[in-house]
Amino acid sequence: MMHHHRSEDESRLERGRRALAEIDGEAGEKVVAALADIAPDFAAYVIEFPFGDIYCRPGLDLRAREIATIAALTAMGNAVPQLKVHIAAGLNVGLSREEITEIIMQMSVYAGFPAALNGLFAAKEVFAQRSAAEEVG
Q: Could you list the residues that contact a second copy (CB under 8 A)?
A: 4, 6, 8-9, 11-12, 31, 34-35, 37-39, 41-42, 45-46, 49-50, 53-55, 57-60, 64-65, 67-79, 81-82, 98-99, 101-118, 120-121, 123-124, 127
Nearer to a second copy, 91 or 115 (CB): 115
Q: How far is the CB of 137 from a second copy (least distance, A)?
A: 22
Contact 32, 43 (CB under 8 A): yes
CB 28 within 8 A of CB 85: yes
* Number of Cβ within a 10 Å radius of residue 67: 20
Nearer to a second copy, 6 or 133 (CB): 6
Radius of gyration for the alpha carbons in the chain, expressed in angstroms and rounded: 16
State the nearest-atom distance from the C-beta of 88 to a second copy, in Å.
15
Gap between the Cα atoms of 8 and 133, Å rounded: 39
